[in-house]
Structure 1
Amino acid sequence: MQTDLVAALDIGGTKIAGALVDGAGALITGARRPTPQQADGGRVMAAVREVLTELSAAPDWSRVRAVGIGSAGPVDAQAGTVSPVNIPGWRDHPLVDGVREHTGSLPVTLVGDGVAMAAAEHWQGAAQGRTAALCMVVSTGVGGGLVLGGQVYAGPTGNSGHIGHISVDLDGDPCPCGARGCVERIASGPNIARRALDGGWRPGPGGDTSAAAVAAAARAGDPVAAASFERAARALAAGIAATAALVEIEIAVIGGGVARAGEVLFAPLRRALGEFATLSYVQGLRVVPAQTGTDAGLVGAAAACRDLLEAEPAP
């Protein structure tokens, strides 16, 4: 498959992106639509079809040999369905069947978006060459994927490493997933912004209430904005430390929109990790920014697709 292409989809609560990806991880052509987050499932699927229609019109579509999907989760890779916490219109939605209606006989691989990000970072990013790593997407939601034994480990349903729904506050706020005090409920971009607003932070003249605006305010010295990022960092640190204690990861890689806050997030995260990662075998754990950037989901969906196809026994 070195000279062939993979059609990759990256589906999240904010955007649905697609690209044709070559064997070196380069994006040949791309398409993007906003996620109609609060719309019914049919409208969300229509946006996916629009992306696929644009991709299939590209001259290089004839070189596509497989389709890789990284989706916000949970996903069920065996059933081909998705139930993203941040896309309420999709519950047990038959995403793979819907994609196959457009792509025909091409093999389709589905993994969680965190697994896709782990595949990208292990292939070309900060986890390259690592034996054990946790790679995280901190954005509209919080997802994750694991590298174990030097290979991306998706698990039976494609959700392994989904750190966003580890509970780190047993009496915390209810999470849309049904649990309480999840990492995502504290550390995702919308929840960082919500907490800052609840604490009295007010946006500037432009009215931007995003996590990026909160990060800018924290950088400028706003104590409420800084406290919201501190709380998010502690939640992430607790989840990372728990994962490290369980499977002995050597590095945690953090990407996604919230990670672009830089040291506003990473400085308190490293401090908090020192409080939670106290066992001798996790004390050397490093936390670093992702290196594959905004295309990580697409590159990772393609990488996971290629890995799984190459791992299948020959017929």
Structure 2
Amino acid sequence: MQTYLSAALDIGGTKIAGALVDAHGRLVVRVARPTPADKDGATVMRAVAGVVAELAAAPEWDRVAAVGIGSAGPVDASAGTVSPVNIPGWRDFPLVAAVRTLVGERPVVLVGDGVAMTAAEHWQGAARGHANALCLVVSTGVGGGLVLNGRLHPGPTGNAGHIGHISVDLDGDPCPCGARGCVERIASGPNIARRALANGWRPGPDGDTSAAAVAASAHTGDPLAIRSFERAAQALAAGIAATATLVEIDIAVIGGGVAGAGDLLFTPLRSALRDYATLSFVADLRVVPAQMGTDAGVVGAAAAAQQSRLDAFVPVP
């Protein structure tokens, strides 16, 4: 008997990836295209349609039962719209409706990219086997998602678990979201680099001022670079501890480019977490690196689609 597949789309500012994913999380077919450089809304949608067309041309397409989309945000799953910061041509763009015109009668599920990563890590990665988890993407921004009672918990709009915009410094710098002292304003890659530069760190001869360059300096012992990562770790620890206290997660999984700094981030993060997660029911909280890598977006979008499809067949009591 043939098994059902999920079609998955992972849409970001750099690339648009697609895959057909089986019930075990294996990618049966995968395709990708660069996100158009001009970021014009219609042009980006044509690229999405091209990815879907490549998937639909595969002989396995007839086995696709549902379609999942993980998109850079903000997203509004209840309205089926997206307004990605890094795709300026899409503002309240009706992505779900647009994809539905391409995939026939199949149900289409939309989640934010942080929620998609969470679904992937819970299904096949570092959060597998954990009933309550927080997963974070620490990169250009800081996103996240929740698993509660063994199930992905995206919330009504698909943004639950968006830890990047928890305020951890009440008098901190203004965040583009409108609040102050958000985790993202302290712990994202660009803000790690911004803070290092503001405190006197200087790049090497190549002039690279990225968080990766700050990490390289920190690995050589530069105290200014080390302190910038320590401050990022402290902000992440405060946000993780607050989340754990609210919903009793037992593991936090961290992925994204900043997590690639390894112990430079994780060692001070775990140390700071001991200062914030002090109550007995969060004292054993673990923080671990993500495992799914670049496949997290499509695997997670497929997982969200599978969960939604199964939910549709569960009778309401």
Deviation readout 1:106-143 (Å, 9 max, x if unpaired)? 21111122221221111111211112111111122211
Aligned to 1:93: 93
- 2:68 is matched by which residue type in structure 1? G
Deviation readout 1:263-287 (Å, 9 max, x if unpaired)? 1110111111111112222111111
Aligned to 1:75: 75
Unaligned runs of 5+ in 2: none
- TM-score, normalising length: structure 2: 0.91
- Bigger mean CA deviation after superposition, 250-259 or 10-19: 10-19
Indicate the RMSD between aligned Cα atoms, in angstroms.
2.3
User: Are 1:202 and 2:202 matched, yes or no?
Assistant: yes
Give the conservation status (yes or no) of the 8 Å contact 2:2–2:63: no
Aligned to 1:66: 66
Deviation readout 1:44-65 (Å, 9 max, x if unpaired)? 3333233323333434333322
Aligned to 1:44: 44
Deviation readout 1:67-108 (Å, 9 max, x if unpaired)? 101122232112101123444433211111122232232211
Aligned to 2:129: 129
- 2:201 is matched by which residue type in structure 1? W
Cα 1:60–1:210 change in 2 (3 A) is: farther
- 1:172 is matched by which residue type in structure 2? G
Shift of 1:258: 1.4
CA distance in 1, matches of 2:248, 2:305: 26
CA distance in 1, matches of 2:80, 2:299: 20
Count of residues paired in the alignment: 315
CA distance in 1, matches of 2:207, 2:47: 28
Shift of 1:256: 1.5
- TM-score, normalising length: structure 1: 0.91
Give the conservation status (yes or no) of the 8 Å contact 2:78–2:157: yes
CA distance in 1, matches of 2:213, 2:195: 13
- 1:263 is matched by which residue type in structure 2? D
Give the conservation status (yes or no) of the 8 Å contact 1:116–1:304: yes
CA distance in 1, matches of 2:117, 2:9: 12
Give the conservation status (yes or no) of the 8 Å contact 2:17–2:32: yes
- 1:83 is matched by which residue type in structure 2? S
CA distance in 1, matches of 2:124, 2:232: 27
CA distance in 1, matches of 2:248, 2:314: 33
Cα 1:167–1:15 change in 2 (3 A) is: farther
Unaligned runs of 5+ in 1: none
Aligned to 2:295: 295
Aligned to 1:10: 10
User: Are 1:84 and 2:89 matched, yes or no?
Assistant: no
Cα 1:314–1:242 change in 2 (3 A) is: closer
